[in-house]
Amino acid sequence: MARLIATAGLLLLPSWAFAAPDTTSSLLTVLLSLALILGGFVAVAWFARRYLPGMGTQGAVKVVGATAVGTRERVVVVEVDGTWLLLGVGGGNVRLLHSLPKPAEAREREQGQ
C-alpha cells in the first residue's frame, strides 16, 4: 500500500513541477509586449502627423515662430498668404503688432526644400 502511494506521488510530481509559473520569463514577456504596443502607438501617431492631410502646416495659416514675453503673454509670427503678421497674444486677447511681407530668405529656403 505504501508502495502504491509512493508511486502515485511520483506520478503527480511532474505535473506539480510544470504547474509552477516562471515569474521572470512571464514578466519579461509582459514588458516586451507592452513595449511593442507602446511603440506601435508612437509609430501610428508619427505617421498620422507626417502623412495625413490637415495634420501639418498645409493650411492657409502657418505659425512661423513664437516666444513668451511673460507668464501669459506671447509674441507670435504667423504667415498668411505670403504676409507675415506679428501678433501679441495674452489675456484672452490677440492684437496685430506689425505686418510685413514674407522675407526673401524664407522664400528661398521654402523653394530649396
**pLDDT confidence of residue 86:** 94
Tracing cell 508502495 back to the chain, one arrives at: 3
DSSP annotation of 17 reads H
| For range 12-21, the mean pLDDT | 58
User: What burial class does residue 88 get, using C-beta atoms within 10 Å of its C-beta: 0-12 exposed, 13-18 middle, 19+ buried?
Assistant: middle
What confidence tens digit (pLDDT) does each residue in 26-66 have? Answer: 888 999 999 999 999 999 998 888 787 665 555 688 888 99
Cell numbers for 77: 509670427
By the 8 A CB rule, do 95 and 88 touch?
yes
| For range 88-93, the mean pLDDT | 91
Q: Kindly report the three-state secondary structure assignment for every residue of 76-102.
A: EEEEECCEEEEEEEECCEEEEEEEEEC
Strand-pairing partners, residue 61, are 80
Q: Does 15 or 71 have the greater pLDDT score?
A: 71
Q: Kindly report the three-state secondary structure assignment for every residue of 38-51.
A: HHHHHHHHHHHHHH
